[in-house]
Chain A
Amino acid sequence: MTQLIVGQLLNGAIVGTLYGIVALGVTLTFGITGIVNFALGVFMMLGAYATWYFADVVGLPYPLAVLAAIAVTAAAGLVADQALFRFTRNNLVNGLLVSLGLIAVLEATALLVFTSTPKEMHRVLPGIVMAAGLVLPKIKLVVFALLLVVIFATYAALTRTWIGRAAYAYSQNPEAAALMGVSTARLQSGVVVYSCALAGLGGALYAALYSLEPTLGSLFILKAVEAAILAGIGSVTGALLGGVILGVTEGVGSIYLPLAFRDAYGLVFLVVILLFKPAGLFAGRR
């Protein structure tokens, strides 16, 4: 029983970092453009399918396929930003609805192109690690480590570089930031594109762990938004923690409670947090 619980804790933490990487995109986009980009889920799906395509159809080695997939999602993000999201800055409802429209279009396109039959990518890095009676696939550990590195690198970039300071300045006072020489339009587009690339990375790593379906993004974006809100929207490390808390809640929750309601545990938790701690669990942290 202890093993089962520890196993679910670890599994939850690993899935949680995947929620976290998308949640980071949600949080950054919200902080800088004032909209919640629900379409990040389909960018994740795009990244996952692109990885599968580059690795299994074109035949690139997996790491190169991941990089190519990130490039594809970033490019798609740039197009979406310039064609659509540019016009919905700071308009929450319109941004929400445009991203819902984009989801409908991209998800249905993926269904047409890739069909609803799940795609399995070839096994990347087979093999397991045994530690203290626990069996862990190597690939899961690599994914976990990689996501942590990217999230902390983003945190470092935001706190240690000029661009990061510009982003914080902008989120506090857009006009003052513009007067100090921050190119606000470019900053906004950059953040939207970076968020899409993060979602693409999440998808690329997801492809190595699970089978792919066109609807995978819709499930993930809900979890990511939950994670972002859980932590208090706008907090980078909070997005990671929110994701992990959510993943662990689901993992451990489904040991003790009916599995069918797995997706509901996170929701109940989210509602309770929003009601009693509306600024999020880690309010006030960056």
Chain B
Amino acid sequence: MKRLAATLVIAALLAALPLATRSDFVLTILVFAFLQGMLAVSFNLVFGYAGQLSMFHAAAFGIAAYATHLFGKHLGVGYWSGVLLAATLVGAISVVVGAICFRFRLREFYFAVVTLAFSEMARLTVLNWNSMTNGSLGINLQDKATIWIPGAGIRPIESTLAWYYVALAALGVTILLCWRLVHSWMGRAFAAIRLNDELGDTLGINVFRYKLAAFTAGSVMAAFAGSLYAYFLGSLEPGFLSIDTSLGIIAMVLLGGRSAVAAPVVGALVLTALPHVIHFSAEIRSIVYGAILIFTILAMPQGIYGTAATLWRRHRAA
């Protein structure tokens, strides 16, 4: 109950934040952080809850970003139809990739390597399919994301403030969905698989089906994040599908924490805001990223949320 109250307070504060500041700088960082947070939360469903180190998340993110644009351009569908079609496409690809991996019982490192291989194949396809994707140059998006406003009809999302609420809502829905999933019978199956999938098998849990469900659900959520992210950024590039994107997602989850559904958002906020608050060159940013990753794993394996929660409990007990 307390937790629900805290969540509602945080949600209300975030919703009311634009009353305090309309600064484009602050809102832009927060929109990026929320969209990255969607990625991190959905990745944590696969990694933190179901225990599968998927390297396919960047591919799901990037494929959806490209697909949304290409569906709009070649089929002439509107933005949200494009988003849904892209998510469906990513879902279908994930089912195939996941089914191959899990049917052949790939685990841990081998699962990571094979999903990485599929992710790289997707990246190479995007990089080399020049007629569709414009290769390494990427695409500048001319079309705008739209939203239906009661009374005003379908309008393009243009102001950063509008994006702020769209991103906040999308992140909220992602967290809610993940929360519902992991606190259901399905979430208990995920936990069993994470802790010992052979034991789960003997207890009558259909390991294949639940791994596939977690993997596909995570990828589809990443797809929505990708469609929104590309249109907020206003451009597409093959780098969306790179190993660096996956590394960034992993860093956010580890830094934020794995033990609560919304914990990775903390990591997303810190890592998105950091380079904007202190002006780094790309190299220094990369060094800081790596150092944070190493430090978190060796010194703070529970992440910011987990460490803070432990400290808070200790404080309360004392």
Closest A residue to B294 using CB positions: A101
How many residues on A have C-beta within 8 angstroms of the other chain's C-beta atoms? 37
B287 touches A109 (CB 8 A): yes
Q: Which of A101, A108, A112, A275 contacts B293 (CB 8 A)?
A: A101
Q: Which residues of B have CB within 8 Å of A107? A: 286
> Known contacts being A229-B113, A264-B120, A278-B104, is A101 close to B128, with CB within 8 Å?
no
CB distance from A72 to the nearest CB of B (A): 20
The total of Cβ contacts below 8 Å across the A-B interface reads 102
B109 touches A96 (CB 8 A): yes
Interface residue? A274 (CB, 8 A): yes
Instruction: Give chain A interface residues in 78-131, CB to chain B under 8 Å.
Output: 84, 87-88, 92-94, 96-98, 100-109, 111-112
Closest B residue to A94 using CB positions: B297
Interchain CA distance A100-B243 in the complex, whole Å: 10
Q: Which of B127, B254, B283 contacts A112 (CB 8 A)?
A: B283
Interface residue? B247 (CB, 8 A): yes
Q: Which of B110, B121, B293 contacts A100 (CB 8 A)?
A: B293
A104 touches B114 (CB 8 A): no
Q: Which residues of A have CB within 8 Å of B293? A: 97-98, 100-101, 104
Interchain CA distance A102-B246 in the complex, whole Å: 16
Main secondary structure of the interface of B (DSSP, over half): helix
CB distance from A40 to the nearest CB of B (A): 15
Q: Which of A92, A109, A218, A258 contacts B108 (CB 8 A)?
A: A92
> Known contacts being A96-B109, A264-B121, is A105 close to B114, with CB within 8 Å?
no
Interface residue? B148 (CB, 8 A): no
A261 touches B124 (CB 8 A): yes
Closest A residue to B290 using CB positions: A104
B53, B297, B298 interface centre (most CB from chain A within 10 Å): B297
Closest B residue to A262 using CB positions: B124
- A133-141, A150-158, A265-273 - the one binding chain B: A265-273
> Known contacts being A109-B287, A267-B117, is A278 close to B110, with CB within 8 Å?
yes
Interface residue? A22 (CB, 8 A): no
Instruction: Give chain B interface residues in 117-152, CB to chain A under 8 Å.
Output: 117-118, 120-121, 124, 127-128
Interface residue? B260 (CB, 8 A): no
Interchain CA distance A98-B294 in the complex, whole Å: 5
Interface residue? A185 (CB, 8 A): no
Q: Which of A102, A225, A268, A274 contacts B106 (CB 8 A)?
A: A274
Closest B residue to A259 using CB positions: B128
A98 touches B297 (CB 8 A): yes
Instruction: Give chain A interface residues in 207-237, CB to chain B under 8 Å.
Output: 218, 225, 229
B291 touches A101 (CB 8 A): yes
Q: Which residues of B have CB within 8 Å of A100? A: 247, 250, 290, 293
Instruction: Give chain A interface residues in 230-265, CB to chain B under 8 Å.
Output: 258, 260-261, 263-264
Q: Which residues of A have CB within 8 Å of B291? A: 101, 105
Interface residue? A36 (CB, 8 A): yes
B121 touches A268 (CB 8 A): yes
Q: Which residues of A have CB within 8 Å of B284? A: 108, 112
CB distance from B136 to the nearest CB of A (A): 11
CB distance from A52 to the nearest CB of B (A): 20
B100 touches A275 (CB 8 A): yes
A103 touches B113 (CB 8 A): no
B124 touches A263 (CB 8 A): yes
Closest A residue to B129 using CB positions: A260
Interchain CA distance A268-B250 in the complex, whole Å: 25
B121 touches A267 (CB 8 A): yes
> Known contacts being A98-B294, A101-B297, A225-B113, is A263 close to B120, with CB within 8 Å?
yes
Q: Which of B53, B106, B117, B290 contacts A105 (CB 8 A)?
A: B290
Interface residue? B112 (CB, 8 A): yes
Q: A101-B291, A108-B286, A271-B117 provided; 8 other pairs, C-beta below 8 A?
A: A101-B294, A108-B283, A108-B284, A108-B287, A111-B286, A258-B128, A278-B104, A278-B110
Which 9 residue pairs are nearest across A and B when measured between Cβ atoms?
A104-B290, A101-B293, A105-B290, A108-B286, A101-B294, A101-B290, A267-B117, A108-B283, A260-B128
A-B residue pairs in contact (CB < 8 Å), sample of 25: A84-B298, A87-B298, A92-B109, A93-B53, A96-B53, A97-B254, A98-B294, A100-B290, A105-B291, A105-B294, A106-B290, A108-B283, A109-B283, A218-B243, A258-B128, A260-B127, A260-B128, A267-B117, A267-B121, A270-B113, A271-B117, A274-B110, A274-B113, A275-B104, A278-B110
